[in-house]
Structure 1
Amino acid sequence: MGVTTAGRLAELVGRLTGGELPIGLRAWDGSTAGPTVGPVLVIHSRRALRRLLWSPGELGLAEAYVAGDVDVEGDLAEGLSAVWSAVGSGALNKPKVGVGDWPRLAAEALRLGAVGPRPPAPGQASLQGRLHSKDRDRAAIAHHYDLSNDFYELLLDDSMAYSCAYFTDGPSGDLAAAQKAKLDLVCHKLGLHEGSRHLDIGCGWGSLICHAAAEYGTVSTGVTLSRAQYEYVSKRVAAAGLADRVTVRHADYRELADDPAVRGAFDAVSTIEMGEHVGDAEYPAFTQILHDVLRPGGRALVQQMSHGVNAPGGGAFIETYIAPDMHMKSLGTTVDLISGSGLEVRDVHALREHYDWTVRAWHRTLEDRWDDVVDMIGEVGARVWRLYLVGGALAFAENRMGVDQILAVRPGEHGVAGMPASRKDYGW
């Protein structure tokens, strides 16, 4: 019996990577190779090989999945985890290819149909202009957050909180209860109470500003760059009867630096998973705004994702298809930048496992409502989100990404912070 297509592919992978297939493989002709137990990568078309030839690694494989050129039979998360483990152990990054091997490898690639024109990218963002210019940031935010309010209402719980929840009862807890617990946690850390002047930069669909106003009596202002979010929050505020307590601005956060009316005007400022969209060069100015909008003694809370010590963070797929121009920093870098603005960091609270549980809950909803999702955002869009959510949960579970709440204060005269003496006095 001759060498099968799957066998040729396995041999090619071995020569190029120096390792064996971490999961099973089935080629378009039905032939198989690799492990016989666990997930199986099904290659439907030679076009998948062309994608990998043009974009080797994570991005090419992700595009092949999104386009439907490949599928995974079995547990997608288990398959991705096996690949990550192989890469992390070095099993797939020690190629055994010499100059004399290239003619044979090229001939094998031709025989398999891997050589050909670059296939079109399925649905990625196309951004123009200078990185983190206001116009480009607006387009990047629109690509992700203006996708469809109906889709986000389907995916999220009633709070419309699109950020890490706080599962006080562990991973089996209810998502809606965990999101409410997160909102309460933020409000307690900020010391919000009746009449507190509160600013939320990157307010999303208004979950925090509406909760703070309704439950704690704040006078809250939200800022969002997304037109769809601005319109949604405006309607939400009116429907909830909170127009006298909640204001939403459709603006770039940088406009706050030029507005004298907000300087020192707030008792508290929050920014929940918005800092990842601020570029490295722009981040010092961003943290300076957090400082400047506060009165002396005012508190700031930054909830932000981070990359692991030896991990890149979001990765090529997320930064191409989900959140273009996103920048993740290490936790230490973010703390240093916040301190550099004149704010005093008082507490850092790691929530990494909670994000794994949050994203898994979103993924369950996606699968349960798959047909509705496809109707809303198309098959390609649905596959993008499936891969994003499965891969994202794994990244948090395996400590390749983290998320933290960083509480800081703007010191008053002679450095007085006015913070509680012990953690139990914070109310959380």
Structure 2
Amino acid sequence: MTAPTTPTTRPPGRGEGAAGLLEPVLREVFAGPPPFALHLWDGSTTGPADGPRVRVRHRRALRRLLWQPGELGLADAWISGELDVDGDLGEALSAVRRALAGRVPARPAPRSWPALLSAAARLGAVGPPPPRPGGRAKVSGALHSRSRDRAVISHHYDLSNEFYALLLGPAMAYSCAYYTQDDQTLQDAQEAKFDLICRKLDLRPGTRLLDVGCGWGALARHAALHHGARVTAVTLSARQHAHARALVAEAGVADLVDVRLCDYREIPADAYDAVSCVEMGEHVGRDEYPAFAARLHGLLRPGGRLLVQQMSRGATAPGGGAFIEAYITPDMHMRPLGQTVDLIEAAGLEVLHTEAMRPHYARTIDAWRAELTRRQDRFTALVGRPTVRLWQLYLAGSSLAFAEGRMGVDQILARRPGGARETVRPAAWCGS
């Protein structure tokens, strides 16, 4: 007798298996075939072969989307490793956005739900909500109360000084750099940004500078070391405070820089020659910004200068989106540049100059992304794989937002009226 042969099996192909069950759902959502290829956990595929390739590694990703449709469900699946893309994440996100141009995913009509739920059940996607990955912010209390603001800042900025040092490089600046040459390094571009701010503020030896939201102290160190300024630097982050103190001591300028751990509302009244606020105003809040601008006015002496570097968004999208609110920095509020200028002027300050820096931010974030990719194993050892994947998504999406002009960042230079008679001369930062 001939031994029976074991039937060979092949993985399901395009339009078969899980893909065959999912394809009608996708057609319902996208009013046609999906604009990207899906490779599912059983080896089946659907969607155009020449588009971006998305891999659903576990049916649990579909369950997340049933319980939490949209951005947060997708983010949770990505962070958990249940969803992936082939190639560079930023390029894939950009390709999907282009493919979706003019096509808004729709919520299925009520008549479609029985068939959709039947397909979901056959796919094994029906069940209790999966556990959320770690990393979501846990904040409570009144919006923009001091305790809540402190918790928000701590969630994001107290992640790990070692993580940020690895990501940001020696400049340790978590803000838009200023590229003056095509081949400039991130470090040099950050130093150029620090110097641009110092020259716009007309810092000189003995000038009293207040740096509100000082981060890890890089600008304060630069202002003291290279311009001789006497700096009061303020942060809400305990880890930033410790690092900034060590940084200025190592640079030998601890006698010129006083680093304080406090809220901007707790800064004692004084008359500073200059005030800087680099990408901190986004955390203040919509309703609180007029009082914030008035506070900055009150902390300047007559004739003193203010430099605000701040991100902007369109009036219809003032926040960072559901993912940013949940995982990165809750309670952020951004507005168009013109509205911020209006608020600064309403506080009694004279706006002298604005400078758009949007393309610089896309390049800055891409440098951070490259470092995250290059040293991924080291980052994973520091903070774990889910946090690394969270940051991959965060940085890829942020770079795309600036590159496509959906977000901007600007420097606004203002002056408190009064003081000594001004001398008309070329702008100090132009090198004249």
Q: TM-score, normalised by structure 1?
A: 0.93
Identical-pair percentage? 55
**Distance of 1:204 and 1:251 partners within structure 2:** 12
Residue from 283, 286, 290 that aligns with 1:284? 290
The alpha carbon displacement at 1:38 in A equals 4.4
Mapping of 1:17-96 within 5 angstroms? Answer: 17-87=30-100, 89-94=101-106
Contact 1:190/1:300 (<8 A) preserved: yes
**Distance of 2:128 and 2:231 partners within structure 1:** 53
Residue from 174, 177, 183 that aligns with 1:162? 174
Contact 1:195/1:218 (<8 A) preserved: yes
Higher mean C-alpha deviation, range 191-200 or range 230-239 = 230-239
Give per-residue Cα distances to partners, 1:220-277, cap 9 Å, x unaligned: 1100000011111111122221121111110011112xx23x2xx2111000000111
Residue from 270, 275, 280 that aligns with 2:281? 275
In our comparison, the structure showing a higher alpha carbon Rg is: 2
Contact 1:86/1:92 (<8 A) preserved: no
**Distance of 2:65 and 2:150 partners within structure 1:** 31
Runs of 4+ in 1 over 6 A off after TM superposition: none
Residue from 343, 361, 366 that aligns with 1:360? 366
Secondary structure at the counterpart of residue 270 of structure 1: strand
1:150 maps to what in 2? 162
1:418 maps to what in 2? 422
Q: 1:245 to 1:43 in 2, by over 3 A?
A: same
The alpha carbon displacement at 1:379 in A equals 0.5
Residue from 388, 391, 397 that aligns with 1:382? 388
AA at the equivalent of 1:255: E
The alpha carbon displacement at 1:313 in A equals 5.0
The alpha carbon displacement at 1:312 in A equals 5.2
Pairwise CA RMSD: 1.9
Q: 1:373 to 1:20 in 2, by over 3 A?
A: same
Q: 1:5 to 1:419 in 2, by over 3 A?
A: farther
Structure 2, unpaired ranges of 5+: 1-12
**Distance of 2:50 and 2:314 partners within structure 1:** 31
Give per-residue Cα distances to partners, 1:342-392, cap 9 Å, x unaligned: 111111100000000000000111111100000101011100111111111
2:9 maps to what in 1? none
AA at the equivalent of 1:390: A
2:192 maps to what in 1? 181
2:223 maps to what in 1? 212
1:103 maps to what in 2? 114
The alpha carbon displacement at 1:62 in A equals 1.1
AA at the equivalent of 1:292: G
The alpha carbon displacement at 1:423 in A equals 3.9
Secondary structure at the counterpart of residue 411 of structure 2: strand
**Distance of 2:247 and 2:405 partners within structure 1:** 36
**Distance of 2:371 and 2:129 partners within structure 1:** 34
AA at the equivalent of 1:149: N
AA at the equivalent of 1:99: P
Contact 2:319/2:332 (<8 A) preserved: no
2:151 maps to what in 1? 139
Give per-residue Cα distances to partners, 1:71-107, cap 9 Å, x unaligned: 11122112111232344x2313355x44332221221
Contact 1:411/1:417 (<8 A) preserved: no
Higher mean C-alpha deviation, range 402-411 or range 306-315 = 306-315
The alpha carbon displacement at 1:282 in A equals 1.1
1:326 maps to what in 2? 332
Q: 1:49 to 1:426 in 2, by over 3 A?
A: same
Contact 1:19/1:94 (<8 A) preserved: no
Contact 2:16/2:44 (<8 A) preserved: no
**Distance of 1:52 and 1:272 partners within structure 2:** 37
**Distance of 2:431 and 2:209 partners within structure 1:** 18
Secondary structure at the counterpart of residue 384 of structure 2: helix
1:391 maps to what in 2? 397
2:142 maps to what in 1? 130
Structure 1, unpaired ranges of 5+: none
Contact 1:18/1:92 (<8 A) preserved: no
The alpha carbon displacement at 1:420 in A equals 4.6
Q: How many residues are matched?
A: 418
Contact 1:63/1:122 (<8 A) preserved: yes
Secondary structure at the counterpart of residue 414 of structure 2: strand
The alpha carbon displacement at 1:56 in A equals 1.2
Q: 1:152 to 1:173 in 2, by over 3 A?
A: same
Secondary structure at the counterpart of residue 37 of structure 1: coil
Contact 1:301/1:406 (<8 A) preserved: yes
Residue from 416, 423, 431 that aligns with 1:427? 431
Secondary structure at the counterpart of residue 203 of structure 1: coil
